[in-house]
Structure 1
Amino acid sequence: MSTRTIACLLLALILAGNGAAMLFVPPLWYQLIPGVTGTGPLNVHFVRDIGCAYLCAGAAFAWFSRDSRAWPAALTGSAFLLLHALVHVGEAVTGTFSMSHFLRDLPGVFLLPLAAVWLAWPVRQVYSVDVHPRAEVNIVPASPCEKN
């Protein structure tokens, strides 16, 4: 198993674990995640809604770790994470939340999306193939998390 496949599985576990906690134990999730209590009172329904998005992103990376053709699903999961990070950037820029809140969010809210995009982005590989000019060749570039 490649290092990137392991990274995809680890990311899948983190995202799905967070989503599961948001869905099944929202009050505990609300208390345990640093900075969340400072965003306002717990809205269980809202936390569960967002937990569904995290579960889907985690499932996309789990699928991608098994099948490199699932890169569009993983990239879509990454898009959710990036958009979530942009919400936090907007809150920092407008002064809704302090810079210390922004810095506290750095590992989970900003670094995870960057890692997700890096893992999900399709990789183009250069191939050198000596083929008869009339032969049909179907070469598919490998994804970063392809199975060994």
Structure 2
Amino acid sequence: MRNPILAVLGLGLLANGLFMLLAPASWYPAVPGVSATGPYNPHFIRDIGAAYSVSGAGLLALLRWPQAWPAAIAGSAFQLLHALIHVFDALQGRVAAGHLLNDALLVVVPALAALALSWPRKAAPAARYA
């Protein structure tokens, strides 16, 4: 496997997204801290589940096809914006300060890792054949 961390992130995001899409009523109480962010809304949870699913699929596509980096970057951008919303809400006092540690581990760190692992690397120069 090309990058096991990218694989774990992609599978984790995709699994979370599918869980949100297929069983929002089970997902809502299962994820620590979610209930502190607002009331249960199955439509909203499925909307976010769709974004998580696409984000995870973009990272997994990058494992197979290096040219899929724009899809991986787009999915990572969603994750990063999502993480910034969590940080902003904590700084505004909308959630308890202790919630930020949970968010750091489950939202912020994975978003930064996804973006870093998705960023295109300079390819080695192609060999020239005469």
**What TM-score, normalized to structure 1?**
0.81
The one of 91, 95, 98 aligned to 1:97? 95
What letter matches 1:90 in structure 2?
F
In the alignment, the residues of structure 1 paired with residue 42 and residue 123 of structure 2 have an alpha-carbon distance, to the nearest angstrom, of 46
Q: Indicate yes or no: 2:28 matched with 1:30.
A: yes
The one of 41, 48, 73 aligned to 2:39? 41
Q: How many residue pairs get matched?
A: 130
In the alignment, the residues of structure 2 paired with residue 36 and residue 82 of structure 1 have an alpha-carbon distance, to the nearest angstrom, of 18
What letter matches 2:112 in structure 1?
L
Identity of aligned residues (%): 45
Aligned to 2:86: 88
Greater length-normalized contact order (CA 8 Å, ≥ 6 residues apart): 1
Aligned to 1:122: 120
**What TM-score, normalized to structure 2?**
0.92
Q: Structure 1: give runs of 5+ residues left out of the alignment.
A: 136-148
Aligned to 2:70: 72
Aligned to 1:142: none
Instruction: Kindly report the root-mean-square deviation, in angstroms, between the aligned alpha carbons of the 2 structures.
Output: 1.8
Q: Between Structure 1 and Structure 2, which shows a larger proportion of helix residues?
A: 2
Aligned to 1:9: 7
Q: Structure 2: give runs of 5+ residues left out of the alignment.
A: none
Runs of 4+ in 1 over 3 A off after TM superposition: 125-129
* Structure 1 position 8, deviation (Å): 2.0
In the alignment, the residues of structure 1 paired with residue 6 and residue 18 of structure 2 have an alpha-carbon distance, to the nearest angstrom, of 18
Q: Indicate yes or no: 2:111 matched with 1:110.
A: no
* Structure 1 position 127, deviation (Å): 4.4
User: Secondary structure in 2 aligned to 1:97?
Assistant: coil
* Structure 1 position 95, deviation (Å): 0.9
In the alignment, the residues of structure 2 paired with residue 128 and residue 48 of structure 1 have an alpha-carbon distance, to the nearest angstrom, of 44
**Which of 1 and 2 has greater Rg?**
1
* Structure 1 position 125, deviation (Å): 4.8
